[in-house]
Amino acid sequence: MRILPRDVLRGRPTTATRDVDEAHAKIAELFCGHELAPRASKAAVDMKLRSLHRGDVGIEFLDYGADVRIEPEGLQDFHLVQIPLAGHASMQVGSVSVDSTPRMASVPPVDRPFSMSWDAGSPHLIVYVRRTALERVATSLNGGLEPKGGLGYGMDLTTAAGRAFLRSVVELHHDLISKPQSATPAFVQGLLADSMMSRLLMAMEAPEPGMRDVETESRLVRECRELLERHAFEELTVPDIAECLGVSVRTLQTALRAECGATPSELLRSIRLDRAREMLLEADPREQTVTAVAELCGFTHQGRFSALYLQTFGELPSESLRR
Percentage of the residues of the chain whose pLDDT score is greater than 90 = 37
Of 37, 111, 91, 110, the residue nearest 68 (C-alpha) = 37
* Domains along the sequence of the chain with CATH: 5-203 (2.60.120.10), 219-322 (1.10.10.60)
pLDDT higher than 50, residue 141: yes
Read off the pTM: 0.65
170-216 pLDDT, tens per residue? 989 988 887 555 556 777 778 889 989 998 988 885 443 333 333 44
Mean predicted lDDT score pLDDT of the chain:
85
285-310 pLDDT, tens per residue? 888 899 999 998 889 888 889 998 88
Of 102, 91, 146, the residue nearest 124 (C-alpha) = 102
pLDDT higher than 90, residue 247: no
Say how many CA atoms lie within 13 Å of 289 toward its Cβ: 4
